[in-house]
A and B are shown apart, each in its own frame.
Chain A
């Protein structure tokens, strides 16, 4: 009798077992398309978001940031805080505990040594690690025991959630990458393109700048996930093509970065096969005002440096007038549609960090003209262009080659012409503009123009590093080979002092208050940065793909393990 029960029990369990595992891989293949193809699946050597999106499906960090900006543990058991003792009282160390029983996709166990190795890999002086900022200020990483990682900082860090947090700094397998550290990093092609990870998928095929083929990770810690057995990422083409492939022809399930004009968005959505999703992070399209004189008559080496303040834009009235003349809602309507919002802030989000700054949202042409008159710029010779002391109010306005940006240029030129400013437009190849080549006159750091327009963002909901860009010492100049992030050469000792205070402040509410003040100092108080549009990342997914939660604070593929086919 016992035997029979045992046998029945065994049969019952065997019958149930396939049912428990039936969910993983049951939904077949999920197909993603990117306008730019994946070049490498190692985020530490990667050249852009596209690569990290693919890596986020394979490699995992200790914790990720969810769409609300909140930390969620991944390989860690819980988020360490001061309350639970994970973060030391003097804020110089943070201790993470790994979940028990974690396995790499090749079956070997995950240990704290892998984390220590990852830190060494990214901080190696010859490694050229592109995510080195994630490990900035880290004095050491030690494996207290096989499942405990202790990160020690060289100075107290109010925000210790940098190393091993977010898709930008996942844990690599020491055994796989051991021989690839330092100068040898780029030579390990197999490891770089098919890294062994703990994520829901593992790479089984890779063609450079073309296709990444993945299969469900058999050692993934949740046996019921991922719902898809295979995944494919195909790259290439343009945003329209990618959007079309999801929204109209249904060949793909997910298209990343489908920035297409608002009318096309509406037309494609009307086809009914898919939907657009937007996530708003901190990406702000803005006009930077050059506080220095870029005139070609100045000698090379002094042009566009702090030696010569800008003859026209040094006057805050002029800058304010230029900002007042712009109608941001029309800009959004023309260029971004649902994918953008007008903004006056350099830090537009998360909500707790955004300043209440909305004065610039209304266009005021008369007010702008009055300000210019007040500043002494009058049209003394009746040619429609204002002048002062024999000098014309003439602006060279540059940006990259991009249809939306060219439309913005046309509109803004029109508004500025109406208030009496002469505008010359210039559009530069993005490879040159963002290339940082010290020999080229067209880089955005050299700023050989009066105003320039582009977009920038913070990779962390906490904008301390991002706001630090505007310190006096970060101005690009010949001495720094024209590298530097303080593009407009803004210099205010009060700003530098306030930012220094931010780096020492631990109280979250106080930090937010300081950040708002810093934001105001570069926007509404000084008008050196004129924000235009708060841009979201616009992606498209098929209506048959469920579980997608687009995330502006981490990788969009952050929860690919939860995606499933809608039946």
Chain B
């Protein structure tokens, strides 16, 4: 297991470098320019000067190498300076967004809290709802609960989030007025009232995303449980006189959780880039919204940095999922 992990980590480095190059070239090749959002009243000569000032007219490989240097040297140096008061990054230019001229990592830092709090909570809520539903549905296959649970899951991922989100807004925010329609990123939670306020503004996006997540995970849970419920060891355990509760929750569940855990682990990177529609709909200005906005404005440094971070997370969580799979299931051998 250890050699497997080390080998994968070592392999990850060239993989990530290749991925970063492919992303860079892809985004560069894609049509569009940072000047697309500039009003038409700005004449071509001025636009040309603006492009030059951004450094956007330099050849692709020059920009790529500059970005590599900034990402792997300047930004960490800046971080270390902040922690330890050194001056390694003095005078160096950080990765700047073309849209806003702000450093990309500052923007990421501003947006991580919203993303983690709202999207992360939705993911958690989804898991917490999905597991019990999946377990009980499999245990009582074809019962009323199962039919109901299946229906819930089906509806959960048949209805696209932009549809369900808008429906929720219309029903709960406009007609009933229970929740606000826009998310206030500046809300500071320091007492009971502001905590309640935070809960209120999180309710709709968490509901929208949580339902979608819960649906998918509950299906995997149910499918996995069903596969295991018919195994011989279950019959043995029952024959040995164990209570149903122990059989299901201790033996079957543990084995069934294996594929589900990997699915959950694989889904974690999507917290950061995947909930684009929900973030847009509710004004939760998080990382997903930043990526989409940057793509629309052809803001190359921002897209490149975010996409690369996303790639790192995916590779990392794939590795974690594989390791977990190997750890949890003794039948799997990697080496």
Interface positions of A (Cβ within 8 A of B): 33, 37, 39-40, 42, 45, 47-49, 125-133, 183, 185-187, 189, 192-193, 205, 207-211, 213, 232, 234-238, 241, 244-245, 248-249, 251-252, 429-437, 439-440, 442-443, 456-459, 465-466, 480, 483-485
Contact = CB atoms under 8 A, between A and B. Distances in A.
Interface string B38-69: 11111111111111111000000000000000
B121 to A, nearest CB: 19
Find the residue from B37, B106, B180 having the highest chain A CB count within 10 A: B37
A47 B110 contact: no
A126 to B, nearest CB: 6
30 contacts: A39-B99, A39-B100, A40-B102, A45-B101, A47-B37, A47-B38, A125-B49, A128-B53, A129-B50, A130-B50, A132-B45, A133-B42, A185-B101, A207-B185, A207-B186, A210-B111, A210-B285, A236-B285, A238-B280, A251-B180, A432-B31, A434-B36, A434-B40, A435-B36, A436-B36, A437-B31, A440-B31, A440-B32, A443-B31, A465-B43
Contacts of B31: 432, 435, 437, 439-440, 442-443
Contacts of B38: 47-48, 130
Contact of B53 (A186, A437, A480): A186
**Which 5 interchain pairs have the tightest Cβ spacing?**
A128-B53, A440-B31, A39-B100, A435-B33, A483-B44
B47 A436 contact: yes
B100 A237 contact: no
Contact of B180 (A208, A249, A443, A456): A249
Contact of A130 (B46, B106, B298): B46
A435 B298 contact: yes
Contacts of B111: 207, 210
Given A132-B46, A234-B184, A435-B31, 14 more contacts: A47-B297, A49-B39, A130-B42, A209-B107, A237-B282, A249-B174, A249-B180, A252-B182, A431-B296, A434-B36, A436-B36, A437-B31, A456-B41, A483-B48
Given A128-B54, A130-B46, A485-B44, A431 B36 contact: yes
Contact of A207 (B33, B110, B281): B110
Interface of B: 31-54, 93, 96-97, 99-103, 106-107, 110-111, 173-174, 177, 180-182, 184-186, 280-283, 285, 289-290, 293, 295-298
A189 B252 CA distance: 56
Find the residue from A210, A251, A439 having the highest chain B CB count within 10 A: A210
A133 B46 contact: yes
Contacts of B97: 39, 208
Contact of B102 (A133, A189, A458): A189
B48 A186 contact: no
Contacts of B293: 209
Contacts of A185: 53, 101
A237 B182 contact: yes
B36 A236 contact: no
Contact of A437 (B32, B177, B289): B32
A432 B36 contact: yes
Given A48-B37, A440-B32, A248 B174 contact: yes
Contacts of B34: 47, 435
Contact of A209 (B45, B184, B282, B290): B290
A236 B46 contact: no
B90 to A, nearest CB: 13
A241 B182 contact: yes
Given A39-B99, A251-B182, A129 B37 contact: no
A128 B39 contact: no
A47 B99 contact: yes
A47 to B, nearest CB: 5
B33 A205 contact: no
A39 B45 CA distance: 23
